[in-house]
Chain A
Amino acid sequence: MNDLVTIDNLHFSRGDRTIYEGISLNIPKGKTVAVMGPSGIGKTTLLRLIGGQLKPDSGDILFKGQSIPSMSRTSLYKARRQMSMLFQSGALFTDMSVFDNVAFPLREHTNLSESLIRLMVLMKLQSVGLRGAADLMPSELSGGMARRAALARAIALDPELILYDEPFAGQDPISMGVLVKLIKELNDALNLTSVVVTHDVTEVMSIADYVYILADKHIIGSGTPQEIKQSESELVQQFLHGQADGPVPFHFPANTLEDELLLTGGTK
């Protein structure tokens, strides 16, 4: 039982649409776990379930052995202090500068002196290459810069668990390399546990200790990067090599294109 997070037979649906039909996975302490899967499959949803922002229909999510869905509000907020999440959109506070954004969790949750906070913030910004941008407002950042600033904010308090939602999206090869290294270093140096949701197969394979691949409401493949690469599952291979044809559907569920075109054509 060295798992920081355990997900057990989780079912979840949005309205009539089932997103998860009984998935189970473990996130061992101190490891980097990658979650991959087609767009719209529910990866962000999974992170929100772990963070307690959504409640599963059934099944359980344990954080340090405690059930997140059945926690009281107070204990949920206590548990959230030990985790942090990098949102897909960054979600920087638009009414404060990059510096204040990164300083925000420190100011809210600690009683550190302003000079110490300044030091810590500048160090975090340095590690994502944005120290020079400290005084800019979020609206003055590019998409990739905003993502990195949000990353600096997410790691400001050195939480035990970091949930990264697409940390590499919109990064050039150099910043991508820096971020991959940063996530790895956080893991090694501070023994943080990371969950990385991403589409960048090669990058994540180089840092992940364990990989889960989601498709069609289930986990279709899991294992160490080595095992995944050698997996014989057609589904997994299709995903890794980015083939449009195969068992994993690329399209959001719909009628066949022919039907749809004929239908709209017919009504004229």
Chain B
Amino acid sequence: MKALVSLGASTLDRIAALGRATAILTGALFAKPTPMKSFPLVLKQIYVVGVQSLLIILVSGLFIGMVMALQAYTVLVSYGAEDSLGPMVALSLLRELGPVVTALLFAGRAGSALTAEIGLMKATEQLSSLEMMAIDPLRRVIAPRFWAGVISMPLLAIIFSTVGILGGHAVGVDWLGVDSGSYWSIMQATVEFNQDVVNGIIKSLVFAFVVTWIAVFKGYDAVPTSEGISKATTQTVVHSSLAILGLDFVLTALMFGTY
């Protein structure tokens, strides 16, 4: 009986949180746009959220591309199919690893920072003081950060995949001796723009939407104490990661499943 009650209570809590999250999202999305004022704010946040995540994305992309080439080569070479290394690396990156790993890194690097920043603004009454100045914090603080995340992540994913393909080239061609011409030409022949590139970008957009939403919501909804903020930050990373992996399965089934 007790278990049932607490199950019910926690379910209600979840639903209430979902309601608050939706309210924040709509408040931010449909905030009265003031392009002259919003644009610089979004740009600044793109710098904070996107540009400052660039290094970790570049390094990770490079290494993942190199590791993939190494792994794939050992398998392919035993079938004499090492010429397919190019498409192998490119497809895995564009369809899967680019969007997914970028989103996971983004959640850890930028999402947690967003949550902590917004939570701290709440704890130090900066959000309250905006409200009292008749400035909607959803428009002034949440919306620019949300849009910056949604814009930055797909771009980061593209950069990730590009660097990964170059890393694969470095290992496969320069080190292991696969023919450079076939690395590129078979890749070009195999990768389809709509099927592979566009779908990857769509995945990335969905992840961007969800991760940034979780990050700004957790910050805005945080209990305004040090403990509350640290909890919210952890939750951002955990919830985002689970959401990314779950959604990835659903999206992959919809996009590439043949049934």
Contact = CB atoms under 8 A, between A and B. Distances in A.
Nearest to B131: A53
A80 B126 contact: no
A105 B133 CA distance: 7
A214 interface: no
Contacts of A78: 134
Interface in B112-142: 120-121, 124-126, 128-129, 131-136, 140
Interface residues of B, number: 15
A88 to B, nearest CB: 8
B153 to A, nearest CB: 22
B126 A84 contact: no
A137 B128 CA distance: 20
Interface majority SS (helix, strand, loop, mixed), chain B: helix
Contacts of B140: 108
Contacts of B135: 105, 108
11 contacts: A51-B131, A77-B136, A78-B134, A84-B132, A84-B133, A87-B125, A87-B132, A89-B125, A104-B133, A105-B135, A108-B140
B140 to A, nearest CB: 8
A81 interface: yes
Interface majority SS (helix, strand, loop, mixed), chain A: mixed
Given A80-B132, A87-B125, A87-B132, 11 more contacts: A48-B128, A77-B134, A77-B136, A78-B134, A80-B133, A84-B133, A92-B126, A93-B126, A94-B126, A108-B133, A109-B134
B136 A89 contact: no
Contacts of B124: 89, 91, 94
A5 interface: no
A83 B211 CA distance: 37
B134 A81 contact: yes
Contacts of A94: 120-121, 124, 126
Interface in B5-41: 37
A85 interface: yes
A53 B133 contact: no
A109 B133 CA distance: 9
Interface string A108-125: 110000000000000000
A66 to B, nearest CB: 15
A140 B186 CA distance: 59
Of B128, B132, B135, the most chain A CB neighbours within 10 A belong to B132
Contact of B129 (A81, A91, A108, A109): A91
Contacts of B126: 91-94
